[in-house]
Structure 1
Amino acid sequence: MLNDSDAVLTRMIELLRLGAFDDWAIALEKIKMDFDRDPKYKSSQLLSMYGGMGSLNDVVLYKNGQPLVAESNEFDALRVQLYEICKTLA
């Protein structure tokens, strides 16, 4: 399960950087760094990013003013996968 979260977070961070969401990328990198040390706490932190205005749920990736449709769809699928992993661990 932890390997899954690492792979999902790694790809989400890559996509966030591609879409110039550096603040979100940094936030996920901080959680990813020591996720395996305290997965329950880190899962709770991640789950708190999933609600309200400006949350992780609102991210749509753009580059040069153009929506990145395939990348946004991939990000959405990863976001759902990460949510399910975190619900299991929290």
Structure 2
Amino acid sequence: MLNDFDAVLTRMIELLRFGGEDDWAVALEKIKKGFDSDPRFKSSQLLSMYGGMGSLNDIVLYRGGQPLVAENNEFDELRIQLYELCRAQA
């Protein structure tokens, strides 16, 4: 299961960087680094990013002022996968 978290987080971070969302990329990198030491706590931290204004749910990736359709679709799928992985861990 940890490999699933690693793969999903790694790709989400790549997409965030590509879309210029460096602050979100850094936030996910911090959680990813310590994930194997305390997966339950890290899952809880991730779940707390899924709600309210300015949350992980609100991210739309842009480049050059244009929305990145394929990347946003992929990011949305990864966001759902990550949520489900976290719920199973919590």
- Per the normalisation by structure 2, the TM-score is 0.99
- Note the residue ranges of structure 2 that are not aligned, 5 or more in a row: none
Aligned to 1:86: 86
Matched with 2:11 is 11
CA distance in 2, matches of 1:25, 1:83: 16
Provide the aligned C-alpha RMSD in A. 0.3
Question: 1-side partners of 2:42 and 2:34: how far apart?
Answer: 8
| Alignment partner, residue 28 of structure 2 | 28
Identity %: 78
Instruction: Provide the C-alpha distance between the structure 2 equivalents of 1:48 and 1:34, rounded to a whole number of angstroms.
Output: 17
- Hey, what's the Cα distance between the residues in 2 that align with 1:7 and 1:35? 12
Q: After the TM superposition, which parts of structure 1 deviate over 3 Å for at least 4 consecutive aligned residues?
A: none
Aligned length: 90
